[in-house]
Structure 1
Amino acid sequence: MTDSEKTLMRAFFHSAEKLYEANIVRSDKLLGDIGEWLCVKRYGLVLEQSGRHPGYDGLIGNRRVQVKVHNSPEGTNLNVGDPEKYDELIVILGPRSRLRPGSRSFTFHFYRFTAAEVEADMKRSSGYYCAKTVLAGKEYEHVDI
């Protein structure tokens, strides 16, 4: 390992520790935790105590909300869970996501769907629910970082 690689690794783990100390992340699922935290700040999401709560991540009012984050520059699949277990889905595309429209920048794109929309528009023949084909024509909100 080169000195430059060692420096980058140390910076990554230092940043992860600072995110944990700031209560932005709660686990080793950094990207998912960041997405949930953004929803806490933007929409008032109240997270479930367990980071592994089955079916949804938290509540906005009385609505059960599932948060899914995509930031892969290569992958295009985004499994959005089972809409029978949540009332609303928030999909967040990160700065590196291949699913983003237009150019890449330091913003997050937020898409909101009802469980009924997920059921109607995202079900695949495999039985899974995937968002990638629906995102292209959907309006989104963005948050700069």
Structure 2
Amino acid sequence: MSPENAVLIQEFFNCTSKLLKAGIVRSDKILGDIGERLCVEKYGLVLETSGRHPGYDGKIGTSRVQVKVHNSPEGTNLNVGDPDKYDELIVILGPRSRLRVSDVNATFHTYRFPSDVVKHLMKRASGYYCGKRILQDSQLDIILLET
């Protein structure tokens, strides 16, 4: 391994340790934890104590909320879990996500869907999936990270 790559890997682990210490992430599911934290700050999501709570990640008021994050420049669909187990789905698209359908310059693009809409629009033979076609007709919300 080149010394440059070794330094990058070490920087990654140093950064993840800092994110854990700051409470931004709470597990090794870094991207998902960051998405959940964004929802805590933007929408008032109260996370379940267990990071492995079945069916949803937390609540906004009495609404059970599932958070899904996509940041892959290659993947075309996002598995959104079982809408019978949550009341609302929040989809967060990162800066590299191939699913982005808007040119809005924001760090994260977010979409909120009631579970009945998920059941109606996202049902596939193999489960429930969100793709570009669905996002094109949905209301965009943004999250800007300012440094």
TM bucket (normalised to shorter chain) is over 0.9
- Please, what is the CA RMSD of the aligned residues? 1.3
Q: For the Cα contact (< 8 Å) 1:45–1:58, is it kept in 2?
A: yes
Classify 1:112/1:73 alpha carbon distance in 2 versus 1 (closer, same or farther; 3 Å).
Answer: same
Q: For the Cα contact (< 8 Å) 2:55–2:81, is it kept in 1?
A: yes
The reply on whether 1:24 has 2:19 as its aligned counterpart is no
Q: Deviation of residue 136 (structure 1)?
A: 2.1
CA distance in 2 between partners of 1:117 and 1:111 (Å): 12
More strand by share: 2
Structure 1 counterpart of 2:23, which letter?
N
Classify 1:106/1:15 alpha carbon distance in 2 versus 1 (closer, same or farther; 3 Å).
Answer: farther
Match of 2:85 in 1: 85
Q: Deviation of residue 77 (structure 1)?
A: 1.7
Structure 2 counterpart of 1:122, which letter?
M
Partner SS, residue 130 of structure 1: strand
Task: Give CA deviations for 1:50-89 in whole Å, capped at 9, x if unaligned.
Answer: 1000000000000000000000000112010000000000
Partner SS, residue 111 of structure 1: strand
CA distance in 1 between partners of 2:73 and 2:62 (Å): 35
Partner SS, residue 129 of structure 2: coil
Paired-residue identity, %: 61
Structure 2 counterpart of 1:129, which letter?
Y
CA distance in 2 between partners of 1:54 and 1:108 (Å): 25
Task: Give CA deviations for 1:21-74 in whole Å, capped at 9, x if unaligned.
Answer: 100000000000000000000011000011000000000000000000000000
Structure 2, unaligned stretches of length 5 or more?
none
CA distance in 2 between partners of 1:106 and 1:11 (Å): 25
Structure 1, unaligned stretches of length 5 or more?
none
Deviating 4+ runs (over 3 angstroms): 102-106
Q: Provide TM-score, normalisation by structure 1.
A: 0.95
Match of 2:128 in 1: 129
